[in-house]
Amino acid sequence: MTTRPRPVTAEELFRKPDDGFRYELLRGELRKVVPAGEEHGYLAMEIGRLLGNHIKANRLGRVYAAETGFKISSDPDTVRAPDAAFVSRERLEEIGPVRGYRPGAPDLAVEVVSPNDTHAEVTGKALVHDQATSWSMDR
């Protein structure tokens, strides 16, 4: 009989000592995130910069960089880190300051698709299958 390891929580991931790797949490399971290539990093930064300029100029909320985790489901926890993300001023004020990962999906999440990404990987990042919550405007 095989035993499954106990699910990792978002709090445990947040407190995890730096081991040189980045992780996301998918239904309690740690997943290593492979570093982005040059073109991927450039495109993600350009999108974040343009989005950030617009959001800041119009005082619409905040834009977050690629390493920012969002806790999008609980028990077991899922924490995802899109390449760029936006959270509206209204939602920021509603929840207030957060220690750790911001709860809920961002209002907008951007994921730069790399040539090596499979359809299943991209779809898996876009959807949380256990709660049918998408990384989109309809939370």
Judge contact between 48 and 63, C-beta under 8 A: yes
Residue 109 lies in a domain: yes
The confidence score (pLDDT) of residue 137 equals 35
| Cα 98 to Cα 45: distance, rounded to the nearest angstrom | 24
Q: What is the CATH number of the domain that holds 80?
A: 3.90.1570.10
| Beta carbons within 10 angstroms of residue 81's beta carbon | 21
The confidence score (pLDDT) of residue 34 equals 85
Domain hosting residue 17, numbered range? 10-134
113-139 residue pLDDT tens: 877 777 777 776 666 544 434 443 333
Residue 2 lies in a domain: no
The confidence score (pLDDT) of residue 14 equals 95
Residue 4 lies in a domain: no
124-128 LR contacts (CB < 8 Å, sep 24+): 124/26, 125/80, 125/82, 128/72, 128/73, 128/78
- Below-50 pLDDT ranges, the chain: 129-139
| Cα 121 to Cα 115: distance, rounded to the nearest angstrom | 12
Count structural domains, the chain: 1
The confidence score (pLDDT) of residue 128 equals 52
- For the chain, how many residues are written? 139
Residue 1 lies in a domain: no
